Structure 1
Amino acid sequence: MATAYSTSTVAELGGSPKRSRRMADILDAIAERGEVSLTELAELFQSSAATLRRDLTVLADQGLIVRTHGGAKAAGSLAELPVALRDTRFQDAKRRIARAAAIRIPRERHAVALSGGTTTAGVARELVNHADLTIVTNSLSIASLVASYPRLKVVMTGGILRPQSLELVGVLAEGTFSAVNVGTAILGADGVSASAGVTTHDETEARTNHAMVSKAQRTIVVADGSKIGRAALAKMAEISDITTLITDDSADPDELQRLRDAGVEVVLA
C-alpha cells in the first residue's frame, strides 16, 4: 500500500520548481537503491552537501525517508510521489499529451469523466474553451480548475479524500460514476503495460477509477513515457477496456508495440 502522506505535505514540500524536481528525483534514487549516501546524491545532482541535507531534512520530516549516518534510506513504500512533487515532472511531455487528448474530445454536448492526476489536470485546462461539456470528476484539483468557466458543467463525486492525490474515492465516488453515462473517460495512470493493464498505487483509487471506465463509451489513457511498461499495485482497467493511449516518444517502443498488438491505438504526442 502506498505511503500515507499527511495533508501538510503539499505545503511543506512547496518551493521552487527546481527544488521540487530535485526532491522528486532524490525520492526516485532512494526508491531504486534502498539507501544512498550524501556523496552519491552530490554526484547525481551536482548539488552541495548543505543543499542536499536541507532537502533530506524536509523529506524525513514528512516521513518519506529515514535519515542515516551520511545519507538516507527508504521509509516504507516510495512508489507514490506527493501531488506537490508530481506536478514538477515531465511538464513538457504532459502538456503535449494533454493537447493531443483534448483535440479528440467533441467541442460541445459531450460528457467527459476525468480521474485525478497532473496529466489529466492538463487535459482539463485544454478543455476550457469547449462549449457545453459536462465534466465528471472525483478530483478536487480538476473541479477547482474548471469551475470558473460557465460553459462547462461540473459534476463532483462524493467520497473519502485521499490527501496524496486530492481525489475522492470509495463507495460514494464509485456510486456517482456508476450512475452517469459519459462519452469519454480520461484516465491517468502510474503504470501501463500489455500484461498488467492500467494500474495505480492505491487499491481504493483503482476501484473508483474502474467504475469510471466501466460506464464510458471509450477510454483514453494519458501517461508520460516513464509510466509505460510499468505495473503498480492495483489494476484500474484491462488493456481491452482502453481505446487510446496518448504518451510521448520517451516510452519503451517494444512495450508500445505490444500495446498496439493488443488493440490499443497508440498516439505519440
Structure 2
Amino acid sequence: MTRAERLTALLELLVNAGKLDVEEAATRFAVSAATIRRDLDYLADQQLLSRTHGGAVPNTTSYDLPLRYKSSNHGEAKSRIAARAVAMLWPGCTVSLNGGTTTVEVARAIPGAEPLHNGITVVTNAINIATELTVRPFIKIVVCGGVARPQSYELVGAMASETLSQLTPDICFLGATGLDPVAGITTHDEAEAAINRVMVQQAKRTVVVADSSKLGTVGFSRICHVHEVAAVLTDSAADPATVETLQGSGVEVILA
C-alpha cells in the first residue's frame, strides 16, 4: 500500500468509525506507530481531521472530504452504473453532469462509447469533469462560472446559476449524497444543492445516478423531491423495499 492509499484509507476509516487510534491503525496497516502519527499530522495540516492524544477525530468538514481523498467504494457498481448511463445517450445529444464520484465515472465512460464520437455536448459545473473531457475533440464542453468548492470541484453561486438557467440539456445525470423516498435527493452542501436544483429544473429528463449505499441516506440539503426526477439508476444490490417504494412514486428504477 502506498502512502497516498494509506491516507485515503485512514480518512475513510475515520469517517466510518468516528475516531482513530494510532496503535490500532498501525496494526491495521502494518506500519509503525510513528508512521501513522506522521500521516495524521499531515492530514491535520490539510484540515481534514483533528488530532487528539493518541489518535484523531473528524473535524467539521470531514464528512465532506475532497474527491481526491475519497476511495473507490462501490467502484464496480459505479462502473456498471456509468456504462448503463452512457448507453442512454445518443450522437448529438446534450447531457449535464454535476460533481461527484459517480458522475465522474459517467464522464470517464463517454469517450469509450464509439457512437458518441459523432459529437456530444456536456454541460457541467464540475471543473474536474470539464478538465478530463476537454481533450476529446468530439465532446463540446460547456462550463458555468462560479465559485469553486474544493471538496467536490463544483462551481456554485449566482454566476453558476445564471449560466445554467439559460440552458436546456436533453438529460441530466445527477449525483447525490443520499436518496430517500420521503426526504428526496440530498447532498451535504446547500450551495451545491441550489445549483444542482437548477440543473434538474432545466433538463428535459433527470436520472439520478447513485450506488445502492446512497439509497435511504439523507444529506443536509435537499436538491429536489423524488417525484421531480424521471428515473433512478442504481446497482443490483439496492434494497428491494426501497426500489418498490420509488416505483410506487412513479419513478423508474434502473438496475445496473
Residue 17 to residue 67, structure 1, CA distance change in 2 (3 Å): closer
1:216 aligns with 2:203: yes
- The Cα offsets for residues 69-128 of structure 1, whole Å up to 9 and x where unpaired, read as 22222222422121112253332221111101110112x121111111221121112222
Residue 89 to residue 218, structure 1, CA distance change in 2 (3 Å): same
Amino acid corresponding to residue 65 of structure 1 in structure 2: L
Question: Cα distance, 1:208 vs. partner?
Answer: 0.5
Question: Cα distance, 1:40 vs. partner?
Answer: 4.5
Question: Cα distance, 1:169 vs. partner?
Answer: 0.7
1:70 aligns with 2:54: yes
Amino acid corresponding to residue 114 of structure 1 in structure 2: L
Residue 57 to residue 249, structure 1, CA distance change in 2 (3 Å): farther
Provide the residue aligned with 1:133 in structure 2.
Answer: 120
Question: Cα distance, 1:195 vs. partner?
Answer: 1.1
CA distance in 1, matches of 2:120, 2:109: 12
Amino acid corresponding to residue 167 of structure 1 in structure 2: E
Contact 2:48 2:65 in 1 (8 A): no
Provide the residue aligned with 1:103 in structure 2.
Answer: 87
Residue 162 to residue 176, structure 1, CA distance change in 2 (3 Å): same
CA distance in 1, matches of 2:160, 2:213: 28
Q: Which of 31, 35, 43 lines up with 1:59 in the alignment?
A: 43
Provide the residue aligned with 2:137 in structure 1.
Answer: 150
Query: In the TM superposition, what are the counterparts of 1:1-269 in structure 2 within 5 Å?
Result: 18-29=5-16, 32-33=17-18, 35-41=19-25, 45-48=28-31, 49-86=33-70, 88-106=72-90, 108-128=91-111, 129=114, 130=116, 131-269=118-256
Question: Cα distance, 1:51 vs. partner?
Answer: 4.1
Identical residues among aligned pairs (%): 40
Contact 2:130 2:141 in 1 (8 A): yes
CA distance in 2, matches of 1:101, 1:250: 17
- The Cα offsets for residues 169-216 of structure 1, whole Å up to 9 and x where unpaired, read as 111111111101111001111111111111111101110010011011
Residue 87 to residue 143, structure 1, CA distance change in 2 (3 Å): farther
Q: Secondary structure at the match of 1:179?
A: coil
Amino acid corresponding to residue 244 of structure 2 in structure 1: Q
Contact 1:26 1:41 in 2 (8 A): no
- The Cα offsets for residues 112-161 of structure 1, whole Å up to 9 and x where unpaired, read as 11111221121112222412211111111111111122221111101111
- Structure 1 residue runs without a partner (length 5+): 1-14
CA distance in 2, matches of 1:197, 1:85: 27
TM-score, normalized by length of structure 2? 0.89
CA distance in 1, matches of 2:36, 2:74: 22
CA distance in 2, matches of 1:20, 1:223: 25
Structure 1 stretch 232-241 or stretch 63-72: which is displaced more? 63-72
CA distance in 2, matches of 1:123, 1:26: 26
Contact 1:94 1:224 in 2 (8 A): yes
CA distance in 1, matches of 2:39, 2:81: 30
Amino acid corresponding to residue 264 of structure 1 in structure 2: V
TM-score, normalized by length of structure 1? 0.85
CA RMSD of aligned residues (A): 2.0
